[in-house]
């Protein structure tokens, strides 16, 4: 019989959301085997506080490696897999989609297949208790117009970027493993996250650091694209809730009820940085905003209808956007060592590649 002291297998647990999840899970008394390829986005420093903690086992490896995944499952006998590992940045998926196909599609397939083999060999009680939770995104649903209703779990898939298309493919595979093989799969589709440990290629941390350093703040297009922001700790709490109480084979949309236009988000960041790090010589940071060439295929608006998870599982977001944003700015200002450790040569190359050729609008 699988006891609750069994570990869970987390994939991508050195990335932004994965590391927040692992830290919370262990803080709540759990154990984790953490399989992460440690790509540019994976950072063991996120988990520095767990160094030498026997409840956390870091394994540097690839979810596409079937033999490694199979061995980890047989050796550690996890009671659940929480699958975060992915290539996750839309702009990179436009510049070089290959890695997205490999990790998001083939990697998810490999993990599902190894999970199925492992799960088939469990006794009935263990089988009943096992869960495969696939972490996905609202971007699979495509783009909304201003007047459209928010995405619900029954909205048709219409992915527009290579990133979204590969996540959609992985969602379909997860669904198929439930329907075909009975693997106890749960899928969550979440809106944009923000918070500590987010790699500074994504909007919020990029703008915080640029604002702090007096660099230009490159807003794509007209800045009126809307995202529904969720503080990362709220997302992690939702994942734990779905893991514990979610109905097998179901999908749950997770969102923050915090739709904001990009320009408003960047302006709000400028305000908090001005307040916490005033710099008279620089003047108000909002002066650094520059409208630049738009992202190709840029989705106009995302909005999540999270009423199903609220109604069925009693989860609600707790952190107001303005509070979460202030906490996040504060975290980046206080963790300059972490920031320097992620801004390697490869990071600088990406910033040059993505921004140098974007002309001002
Ligand atoms: P991230 O890019 O910060 O982290 C991804 C992690 O996966 C990294 O640690 C990386 O090293 C690891 N990884 C990549 N390829 C791997 C491979 N082949 N094998 C093993 N590990 C590999 O991403 P994130 O923002 O933390 O997102 C985590 C998950 O949540 C993703 O599946 C993403 O699609 C989903 N999601 C993210 C958001 C968001 O706003 N960030 C919103 C909704 C859903
Ligand atoms: P991002 O953080 O890349 O998340 P996603 O594309 O998955 O929603 O971008 C959030 C929004 O911010 C998106 O509409 C694109 C926009 N954006 C900018 O305007 N400038 C930037 O430099 C970046 C990285 C994003």
Q: What share of the chain is helix, strand, coil (3-state, %, to 5)?
A: 50, 15, 35
Residue 17 pLDDT > 50, yes or no?
yes
pTM, two decimal places: 0.98
Atom of ligand 2 nearest to the CA of 192: 8
Domain of 91?
Answer: 8-195+231-255+301-319
Residue 260 covered by a domain: no
Give the closest residue to 190 by CA, choosing from 225, 149, 237. 237
pLDDT in tens, 148-192: 999 999 999 999 999 999 999 999 999 999 999 999 999 999 999
**Does residue 143's CB lie within 6 angstroms of at least one atom of ligand 2?**
no
For the Cβ of 255 lying below 6 angstroms from any atom of ligand 2, the answer is no
Cross-strand pairs, 290: 218
Q: How far is the CA of 218 from the centre of ligand 1 (A)?
A: 24
Is the minimum distance from the CB of 42 to ligand 1 under 6 angstroms? yes
Task: Please tell me the distance from the alpha carbon of residue 154 to that of residue 251, in angstroms, as a whole number.
Answer: 9
Number of domains forming the structure of the chain: 1
Q: Is it the case that residue 284 has pLDDT exceeding 50?
A: yes
pLDDT value of position 4: 62
Beta bridge partners, 226, equal 261, 301
Given the CA of residue 192, which atom of ligand 1 is nearest to it? 40
The tally of CA atoms less than 13 A away on the side-chain side of residue 297 is: 15
Q: Which ligand is nearest to the CA of 86?
A: 1
Question: Which ligand has the minimum distance to the alpha carbon of residue 234?
Answer: 1
User: Do residues 227 and 192 make contact, with C-beta atoms less than 8 angstroms apart?
Assistant: yes
Please report the atom of ligand 2 found closest to the CA of residue 299: 14
Residue 273 lies in a domain: no
For residue 34, which of 4, 52, 7 has the smallest C-alpha distance?
A: 7
**Three-state SS at 148:** coil
Query: How many angstroms is it from 334 CA to the middle of ligand 2?
Result: 24
| Token output for 95 | 């510049």
Residue 186 Cα to ligand 1 middle (Å) = 17
Whether 203 lines ligand 2, by a CB cut-off of 6 Å, is yes
Residues labelled catalytic: 138-139, 163
| Pocket lining: 218 vs ligand 2, CB cutoff 6 Å | yes
Distance CA 7, CA 81 (A): 9
Distance 218 CA to ligand 2 centre (A): 10
Alpha-helix residue ranges (DSSP H) falling in the chain: 16-27, 66-76, 90-95, 98-100, 108-120, 124-129, 162-181, 203-213, 232-245, 262-276, 307-313, 321-334, 336-342, 345-355
- Residue 84 counted as domain residue: yes
Q: Which of 11, 19, 35, 39 to mutate to test the pocket of ligand 1 (most atoms within 8 A of CB)?
A: 39
Q: Picking from 115-119, 319-323, 352-356, which range would have the lowest pLDDT averaged per residue?
A: 352-356
Nearest bound ligand to CA 292? 2
Please name every residue paired with 36 in a beta bridge, in sequence order, or none if there are none. 60
Would residue 13 count as lying in a domain?
Answer: yes
Residues 201-222: tens digit of each pLDDT: 999 999 999 999 999 999 999 9
51-107 confidence digits (pLDDT tens): 999 999 999 999 999 999 999 999 999 999 999 999 999 999 999 999 999 999 999
User: Of the candidates 269, 291, 268, 288, which has an alpha carbon nearest to the alpha carbon of residue 219?
Assistant: 291
Among candidate residues 196, 216, 340, 191, the one with its CA nearest the CA of residue 266: 216
Q: Which ligand is nearest to the CA of 10?
A: 1
Q: Is the CB of 304 under 6 A from ligand 1?
A: no
Whether the CB-CB separation of 161 and 192 falls below 8 Å is answered with no
Does the beta carbon of 205 sit less than 6 angstroms from any atom of ligand 2? no
CATH number of the domain that residue 76 is part of: 3.40.50.720
Ligand 2 geometric centre to CA of 72 (Å):
36
Does 129 reside within a domain? yes
pLDDT in tens, 307-343: 999 999 999 999 999 999 999 999 999 999 999 999 9
φ, ψ of residue 83 to 5 degrees: the values are -105, 100
Which residue of 166, 262, 325, 354 sits with most ligand 2 atoms within 8 Å of its CB, as the best mutation to test the pocket? 262
Residue 242 in any domain: the answer is: yes
């Amino acid at each position: 019989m699988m006891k609750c002291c069994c570990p869970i297998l987390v994939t991508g647990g050195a990335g932004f959301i994965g590391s927040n999840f692992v830290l919370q899970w262990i803080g709540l008394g759990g154990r984790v085997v953490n399989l992460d390829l440690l790509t540019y986005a994976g950072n063991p420093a996120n988990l520095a506080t767990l160094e030498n903690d026997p409840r956390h086992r870091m394994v540097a490896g690839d979810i596409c490696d079937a033999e490694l995944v199979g061995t980890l499952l047989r050796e550690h006998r996890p009671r659940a897999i929480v699958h975060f590992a992915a290539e996750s940045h839309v702009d990179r998926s436009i510049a070089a989609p290959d890695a997205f196909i490999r990790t998001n599609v083939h990697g998810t397939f490999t993990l599902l297949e190894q999970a199925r083999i492992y799960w088939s060999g469990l006794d009935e009680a263990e089988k009943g208790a096992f869960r495969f939770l696939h972490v996905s995104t609202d971007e699979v649903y495509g783009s909304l117009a201003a007047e459209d209703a928010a995405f619900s779990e029954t909205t048709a898939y219409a992915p527009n970027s290579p990133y979204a298309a590969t996540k959609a493919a992985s969602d379909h595979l997860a669904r198929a493993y439930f329907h075909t093989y009975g693997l106890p799969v749960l899928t969550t589709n979440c809106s944009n996250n923000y918070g500590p440990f987010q790699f500074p290629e994504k909007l919020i941390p990029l703008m915080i650091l640029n604002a702090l350093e007096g660099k230009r703040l490159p807003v794509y297009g007209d800045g009126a694209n809307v995202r529904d922001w969720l503080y990362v700790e709220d997302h992690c709490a939702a994942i734990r809730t779905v893991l514990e109480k979610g109905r097998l084979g179901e999908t749950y949309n997770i969102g923050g009820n915090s739709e904001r236009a990009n320009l408003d988000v960047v302006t709000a960041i400028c305000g908090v940085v001005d307040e916490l790090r005033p710099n008279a010589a620089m003047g108000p940071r909002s002066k650094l905003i520059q409208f630049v060439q738009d992202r190709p295929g840029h989705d106009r608006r995302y909005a999540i209808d999270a009423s199903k998870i609220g109604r069925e599982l009693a989860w609600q977001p707790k952190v107001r956007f303005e509070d979460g944003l202030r906490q996040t700015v504060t975290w980046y200002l206080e963790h300059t060592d972490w920031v320097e450790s992620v801004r390697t040569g490869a990071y600088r190359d990406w910033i040059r590649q993505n921004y140098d050729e974007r002309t001002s609008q």
